[in-house]
């Protein structure tokens, strides 16, 4: 029983680490692949962002324009001037980025 509890705690700790590192990756990936258009803070107020017409992800109105599924679709397959990222990001990383985008709302 004791060993079971211990291995459960170990597994839970491991899971926590994996989730944490995915969130870290999302922030890094956002800076690396997305901020050039969507801006570091998600407002879309960059030269490329203004030109390509990206939304403002810091407002409720901007966030309500797309569902999580549409966000996954846009990042995976591309949308408008935004290219597909399926060759550079795994499905897990894309999901983590959607959560990151949702977190940009002020």
Kindly tell me which of 55 and 58 has the beta carbon lying closer to ligand HEC: 55
Residues composing the chain: 106
Residues that bind ligand HEC (CB under 6 A): 33-34, 36-38, 48, 52-55, 65-66, 71, 74-75, 79-82, 85, 97, 101
CB of 7 to ligand HEC, least distance (A): 36
Other Cβ atoms less than 10 A from the Cβ of 59: the count is 15
Kindly state the smallest distance separating residue 35's Cβ from ligand HEC, in Å. 8
Q: Are 76 and 86 in contact (CB under 8 A)?
A: yes
- Helix/strand/coil for 59: coil
């Amino acid at each position: 029983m004791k060993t079971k509890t211990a291995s459960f705690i170990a597994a839970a700790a491991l899971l926590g680490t994996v989730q944490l590192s995915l969130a870290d990756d999302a922030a890094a990936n956002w800076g690396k692949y997305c901020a050039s258009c969507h801006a570091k803070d998600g407002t879309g107020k960059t030269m490329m962002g203004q030109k390509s017409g990206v939304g403002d992800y810091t407002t409720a109105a901007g966030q309500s324009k797309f569902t999580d599924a549409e966000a996954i679709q846009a990042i995976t397959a591309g949308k408008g001037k935004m290219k597909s990222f399926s060759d550079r990001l795994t499905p897990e990383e894309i999901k983590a980025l959607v959560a990151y985008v949702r977190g940009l709302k002020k």
